[in-house]
A and B are shown apart, each in its own frame.
Chain A
C-alpha cells in the first residue's frame, strides 16, 4: 500500500499516519507495534490504533486524574501534510496551491516542473494530481531531506515524481544520467535512457530569481503544445524583473494576481435583548429600594427621637433576574441561554503570501500538415450543415 496515493482502509504497522491532536497540532507518526505516542493529554499505544479504520478516535483515561484524552488518526493527504509538515522553508499554502493547480489545469495529463522543492509541501499536491512531477532543489541538505521524505511517503515508488539536486538558474533543467537525481532510479528508466524527456506543460517557479531560470525553460518544455507558467515571488520588484524576461523570451498572456485566503472561526454570540436588559435594571433598582427605604425609616426615627433607631439590615435577596448569566462563567453555547451563530476571521491572517505571475507559451505555433491532411481526408465527405449530430440529437435519434 502507498502512503499517500492509495486510499487505505485500516491502520497497519508501517503506515505513516497523521495524529490530529488539535487544529494546529498534527503530528506525522509511523505506526510500529509496541510503540507509544505521548502527548500531554495522555499516552496512546500504537497497538490501540493498529487494526482500526483510518479516522478512528483513540481515547485513553489518564492514570490518576481520571481525565479523558483522545486523538484522531488520519491517513495523510497533501493538504493535511501541509498543515503538519516540518518547515524547512516558507511553504505554499492550500489557497495558493489550489488556485495555481486549477488555473494551470493540473490533471493526470500534466507534466510539471517545480523549482525549488523547498519543504516539499506543493510537491505532494502536484504528485497527487499530475502525470509526472520534476522537482528541483539547489540546497544540498534540503534536497537530501526532501528525497528521503518522498521515499518514505512512497512518492518515488508511485513512479510519477523525480527530484533533482540542481541550481536551475545556473544549470537549467535537463536531467542526464549521472546527475544527482532520483529520475533514473525508477526501473522503467534503467538502462536505455540517457536523458530525461521532461516535456513539461506546467511550470512552477518558487525561486528568488526566477528570471535567471526562465531562459533555460525552452529546452525542457513541450514544443508542440501550450505551456503554463507560474512564478511565486513575495516582492513586487521580483515581479517586475520577471515580466521583463517573460516578454523577452516570448511568454504571453502574462498576468499577476494575489491570493487572499481567509479562514473563519464559528462562534456564538449571546442574544441579549433590550427588554431583558431593562428588566434586569428594574430588578436591581427594586432591590436597591429596600435599602433606601430602611435608611429612610432609620433617619425618620432619629429625627423623631425614637430610642431604637437601628434596624436590622435585611438579607439581600440573590438576584432574581439574571438573563445573561452575569457573575458566573457562561460557556459559549450554554443551552440555558439563547445564541446567535456568528463567524470571525481567525486572529492572525496571512495577509500576503506571494505574488503569482502567470504566463503561457507555445513554442511551435504550427500544425503537422501531414496529420492535418489525414484528418481532412477522414472527414472530406462530411457535409457541414448535416454535420455530425450533437450528443443530444444522437440520444434523441437513438430513443426514437
Chain B
C-alpha cells in the first residue's frame, strides 16, 4: 500500500462530512472513529482504499458496539450507554452525491437528458411551477416535532428514512418549486446523512481544516490561491534551500514540504527549509499532523531564531568552547563521560550549523508570511538570498506589502517588486444553472514578489569611449531604474 495513494494506518487524514466540514484524525489500528451525529465506524474498515473514497455508514444489525460521542465525554461516567454512538458498517459510495441510496443523481442537474427532470424522489410528491402559493408560516409547517425527529435518530433510522418522514409531514412541500425542493433535500441530507469521504492531508486540506475550525487568524487569512502563488512565484523545487518565516504555525512550511517532496518520506531530494522564528522556539505545531517521519522533518526543516540568525555565534568562540575528539580519543573515553561529550557535540554542531546558515549559505528563495514590520525585515533577510532568486512575501493586508514594495523599490538589490492578489470565484456547477455562488469567503491576502539582484558597482561600468567627467553615482542608477 502506498501511503500517498491509499488509506494507511498511523497517518493523519481528513474526513469530509456530509456538512462539508472537515475533520482531521489519526488512523490508529483497531480503533473506532466517531463523527458525532454522522455516526461512527471502525478504522480497519477504511484501510487500503484509495484516498478520495466515500463511505456510507450502515446500521443494519446495529447497537452491538458503541463508543462514546465526543460531546458526551463527561457524561459517560454516570450513564455509560446512554450517549454512545453506535459503530456502523461501511459500504463504498460512487460519490458524495449518490448518498442515501443513489437516488438523487439528478439533484445535481448533471447529465440528465432533460435538464429539468426532477429528482425521482421528488417526482412522486409533486411540485409547483412557482412559489406563488408558498406562504412562510415558519416552523409550524413541519408536523414532526423536534422530539419526534430526535426519536427517529435514536432509533438509528437512516438519513433517508428521516428525510422521507419529514417530507411526508411537511405541510407545503408540494408547493415548493423543484429547485427549492432540491435545496431542501440537500440541506436535510447535510444534516441527517451518514457518509464521509477520506482525503489525503494536502496543504490545501490543512488550510481548509483551519478555516472550518475558525482559525482564520492563525492561517493569517491565507487562501488556497495565495498558497499556490507563493509556491509558484517562489519557484519551490525539491532541490532548493529556502529561507522561510512562517507565522501560521507550520501551514506554510507544510505547503513547502508537500510541494518539494509530495509526502514521500523516502524522497532522496536534498531540499531544505531554514525557518527563522522570532520566539525562542519555532512554532511549527501543525507539522505534528504531517505524515513525514520525525527524521525526515529534522533533515529537511531547520530552525533558527532571528537573534541567532542576525547575530550568529562567533566561530572562534564556539571552537574555543569545544573541540570534537577523534575516534581514537573517543575510544579511550570512559562511558560515563561519553554522554556529556555527545551532548556538547550536539551543541557544537548546532552552533556550526547556525554559523553556516547565517554567514555562508546562499538561499534559493525567501518565503515569508509574517506580521513583523516587513520593510525592516525583508531587506535584511534578503541579504543572503542568491542573485536571480525570488523573494515572496505574504501579508493579510495590502498596506504592509505596499510599504514593503516602496522600500524595496528604492533598494537596488531588489528587482521589480510587484504586489499581486489572486481570488478564486466558485460557481454553482449545475448544467443549465451555472452562476457564481452568491457568497464566498472574502480576504485571502496579498503577495509581494521580486527578485534578488546584484547592483553594479559604479567602478565596474564599462566606458566604451574615453569619457571624462561625472562619476557614476548610485542616485543616477536609481533614477534610471525608476524611469
Contacts and interface: CB of A to CB of B under 8 A. Distances in A.
Contacts of A61: 461-465, 467, 472
B315 interface: no
B278 interface: no
Interface stretch (B50-58, B116-124, B134-142): B50-58
Interface stretch (B88-96, B171-179, B183-191): B88-96
B451 A55 contact: yes
B262 A60 contact: no
Given A103-B224, A257-B425, A367 B419 contact: no
Interface stretch (A72-80, A298-306, A319-327): A72-80
A54 B26 contact: no
A266 interface: yes
A378 B202 CA distance: 27
A56 B238 contact: no
B29 interface: yes
A247 B29 contact: no
A279 B209 CA distance: 58
A98 B387 CA distance: 23
A33 interface: no
B252 to A, nearest CB: 13
> Interface centre among B6, B95, B460, by most A CB within 10 Å?
B95
Contact of A243 (B227, B431, B470): B431
B1 interface: yes
8 contacts: A7-B364, A68-B461, A68-B472, A108-B238, A239-B434, A255-B427, A266-B417, A372-B1
A7 B386 contact: yes
Given A79-B233, A107-B261, A260-B425, A362 B477 contact: no
Which of A69, A73, A226 gathers most chain B CB within 10 Å?
Answer: A226
A244 B267 CA distance: 40
A237 B482 CA distance: 45
Interface in A65-97: 66, 68-70, 72-75, 77-79, 94-95, 97
Contact of B434 (A256, A375, A387): A256
B123 to A, nearest CB: 19
Contact of A368 (B4, B48, B259, B462): B48
B456 interface: yes
**Interchain residue pairs A-B with the least CB separation, the first 4:** A55-B387, A107-B262, A102-B228, A109-B262
A337 to B, nearest CB: 15
B164 interface: no
A102 B409 contact: no
Given A57-B453, A105-B202, A368-B1, A375 B47 contact: yes
A301 B235 CA distance: 83
Interface of A: 5-7, 9, 20, 23, 45, 48, 52-64, 66, 68-70, 72-75, 77-79, 94-95, 97-103, 105-110, 125, 128-129, 131, 222, 224-226, 236, 239-240, 243-244, 246-248, 250, 252-264, 266, 268, 333, 341-343, 355, 357, 360, 362, 364-369, 371-372, 375-376, 379-380, 382-385, 387-388, 390-392, 394
Interface in B366-381: none
Interface string B456-483: 1000111111010110100011001010
Given A55-B389, A103-B228, A360-B52, A254 B288 contact: no
Given A103-B228, A109-B264, A371 B94 contact: no
Contact of A266 (B110, B262, B406, B467): B406
B206 to A, nearest CB: 12
B31 A384 contact: yes
B229 A94 contact: yes
B18 to A, nearest CB: 14
B228 A266 contact: no
B453 A259 contact: no
Given A74-B388, A252-B94, A258-B436, 7 more contacts: A55-B387, A60-B461, A254-B429, A256-B429, A375-B1, A379-B29, A384-B31
Contacts of A240: 431-432, 434
A77 B306 CA distance: 29
Contacts of A391: 288, 294
B462 A372 contact: no
A266 B409 contact: yes
B259 A107 contact: yes
A108 B260 CA distance: 7
Contacts of B464: 60-63
Contacts of B204: 102-103, 105
B69 interface: no
B111 interface: yes
A64 B465 contact: yes
A394 B294 CA distance: 11
Contacts of A371: 1, 48
A59 B461 contact: yes
B415 interface: yes
A253 B96 contact: yes
Contacts of A63: 464-465
A255 B462 contact: no
A254 B429 CA distance: 7
A103 to B, nearest CB: 6
B53 A258 contact: no
B421 interface: yes
Contacts of B434: 236, 239-240, 256
A342 B398 CA distance: 10
Interface in B398-456: 398-399, 402-403, 405-406, 409, 412, 415-427, 429, 431-432, 434, 436, 451-456
A56 B361 CA distance: 18
A101 B204 CA distance: 11
Nearest to B237: A128
Given A72-B415, A262-B420, A390-B26, A101 B52 contact: no
Contacts of B269: 108
Contacts of B225: 95, 98-99, 102, 259
A210 B236 CA distance: 30
Residue from the set A45, A247, A388 with the largest chain B CB neighbour count within 10 Å = A247
B258 interface: yes
Residue with the greatest number of chain A CB neighbours at <10 A, chosen from B26, B229, B409, B452: B229
A348 B75 CA distance: 62
Residue among A101, A105, A268 with max Cβ neighbours from chain B (10 Å): A105
Contacts of A369: 48
B417 to A, nearest CB: 7
A5 B236 CA distance: 11
Contacts of B110: 243-244, 246-247, 254
B116 to A, nearest CB: 15
B59 interface: no
Query: Which interface residue of B425, B436, B456 has the most chain A CB atoms within 10 A?
Result: B456
Contacts of A355: 427
Contact of A260 (B51, B203, B422): B422
A355 B224 CA distance: 17
